[in-house]
Amino acid sequence: MIVPPTEIRRGLFENLTMNQIDRLFEIVTTYEKHGWKLRSVLMTAETSAAGADRDMTRIAATPIEASTIDAIWFSRASHDKREAWELRLVADTPYALFETFAADEPAELCADMRLEMEERMREHVEKLTGELSLIKSEIPDASAS
């Protein structure tokens, strides 16, 4: 059986329906299992609204910041007395930005670098969203048939 390209493209979006809160909890569980410490959560208004009726005690002690993306900050000790920080996108496809900081690096410099990482993540999401919109626009509307 030959699968038409439109069906292949439509399959790209099937997993996008998983609840972002469920996806977030799944990612947190995986990272914590590997020794990462949850530091903060960046959450869109849509995801925040979706979590309003959910038990959020899993991340209740974690700062949640309003954002244009859903992403999670983690950290853990690294080699040579450094600290590793990772910003993980809350999405089906794993995507993260990683940086290590020396113990004696100024806190302001570390904070600036993390803000820079957040901006790079936003740019990635914008690019990805644009590509997905283009693909979606090429898929014929099944309801029009």
Q: Which pLDDT value is given to residue 64?
A: 94
Q: What's the pLDDT band for 132 if we cut at 50, 70, 90?
A: confident
The mean pLDDT of 123-145, rounded to a whole number, is 76
Q: For residue range 16-34, what is the model confidence (pLDDT) as tens digits?
A: 446 899 999 999 999 999 9
Confidence band of 145 (pLDDT split at 50, 70, 90): low
Stated pTM of the model: 0.79
pLDDT of residue 3: 44
Residues 62-115: tens digit of each pLDDT: 999 999 999 999 999 999 999 999 999 999 889 999 999 999 999 999 999 999
> DSSP letters of 19-83?
-HHHHHHHHHHHHHHTT-EEEEEEE-HHHHHHTTTS--GGGTTS-EEE-SS-EEEEEEE-GGGEE
Average pLDDT rounded to a whole number, residues 41-69: 92
Calculate mean pLDDT across residues 6-24: 60
Other CB atoms closer than 10 Å to residue 96's CB: what's the count? 15
